[in-house]
Amino acid sequence: MSSRLVTEIAGLKLANPTMLAAGILGSSGSFLRRIAEAGAGAVVTKSVGLKPRIGYPNPTVVQVDCGLLNAIGLSSPGIHNFGEEIREAKKGGVPVIVSIYGFSPEDFAEVARMAVEEGADALELNVSCPHVEKTGSEIGQNPRSVAEVVKKVKNKVDKPVFVKLTPNVADIIEVAEAAVKAGADAVTAINTVRAMTVDIETTRPVLANKIGGLSGPAIKPVAVRCVYEIYRRVDVPVVGCGGIATWRDAVEFMLAGASAVQIGTAVAFEGLEVFKSIAEGIEAYLERMGFGSVKEIVGLSHQH
């Protein structure tokens, strides 16, 4: 891959703008390494909290038309047991961004401190999980709570802090601005859209938790709109996430304002080669359109 694809986000240098999205295959350090070796420019771990958490019973993941529905429930071994995974993941040679969650700003700050101690290159604050009470989007729907979490974390660590936003709000810009004002170095948009499915033969909600989050192609236009709106209003990089499966999707997000893109659900349908194929596709596009660097296309749609 050429230098055309090299980019930088909040001080992190990426060989290409594709990243593994949080919550996808990110609980094992060895597997994160494999994803790095498969061509991802950076990897985000599965969200880790302060204490071990089992998550919900199965079914936790259901395939629906144009996407996946999940309510895994923030299962995590806890940051105390996650150090070796971070260290193993770092052997992949790309930035390792540790996604963290907490039930209070203090929780976030403590998990952040330990994650950095274990080698995290950056943190992504999960204030957007749509299916666990007292954390995730319950924090992320309130700009003041988001600001408080970001401030507490920024006071504790000197690594870049990404804030992953929920689309399940009336005004995502307001939350993004609060995060940036509180010191966020980048924002990721978007987490899953709160959703559910009912099995008509048995009349039951399929997910054990009944309600979960929708990812995949179905949410892409929602995510593109969020990136577009946020890009206009904040002066930190925006990372696009939501239904990216091809290089065309990735370019679309970048034109809307994303400096990099996160890929999750597509890993299930396209395999691990998806990172490499998207990066190569972006490169061919840049060449065809006469751009010298991927940075040149970020936000280009705003000219119109």
Partner 1 sequence: MRIQRIREENPTVKTLIFHDKHCAEAKPGQFVMVWILGVDEVPMSLSSINSDGLSSITVAEVGEATQALHQIKVGDVLGIRGPYGNGFTLVGGKVMIVGGGTGLAPLLPLAKSLRRFSAKISFLAGAKTRDELFFLERIKKAVSKVNVTTEDGSYGLKGLVTDLAEQILEKEEFDMIYACGPEKMMLKMFLLAEQYHTPFQASLERYMRCGIGICGSCCIGEYRICKDGPVFSGRQLRKVKKEFGLFKREADGSKVSF
* Residues of this chain that bind partner 1 (CB under 8 A): 23-28, 30-31, 33-34, 46, 52-55, 57-61, 63, 68, 70, 72, 75-78, 81, 199, 201-202, 204, 206, 208, 264-265, 267-268
Q: Which is closer to partner 1, CB of 259 or CB of 262?
A: 262
How distant, in Å, are the alpha carbons of 72, 84, 201, 238 from that of 23? 9, 18, 30, 19
Angle at 12 between CA 9 and CA 13, to 5 degrees: 95
Q: What distance in Å separates the CA atoms of residue 169 and residue 166, rounded to the nearest whole number?
A: 7
CB of 96 to partner 1, least distance (A): 15
CA 303 to chain centre: 27
Catalytic annotation, pick one of 66, 129, 226, 241? 129
Q: Which is nearer to partner 1, 84 or 171 (by Cβ)?
A: 84
Measured from the CB atom, is 31 or 231 closer to partner 1?
A: 31
**Is 241 among the residues known to form the active site?**
no
Give me the least distance between CB of 117 and partner 1, in Å please.
Answer: 19
What does the block give as tokens for 4? 């055309």
Structural element, H or E, at residue 221: helix 220-233
Where are any strands of DSSP class E within the chain? Answer: 7-9, 12-14, 18-20, 42-44, 61-64, 67-70, 96-100, 122-126, 161-165, 186-189, 193-195, 198-199, 204-205, 212-215, 238-241, 258-263
Which residue, 266 or 298, is less far from partner 1 as judged by CB? 266
Shortest distance (Å) from residue 81 CB to partner 1: 5
CB proximity list for 170: less than 8 A, separation 6 or greater: none
Cα distances (Å, whole numbers) of residue 9 to 1, 61, 110, 140, 188: 19, 31, 24, 22, 11
CB 275 to partner 1: min, Å: 14
CB of 124 to partner 1, least distance (A): 16
Residue number with CB closer to partner 1 (32 or 146):
32
The residues carrying an active-site annotation are 129
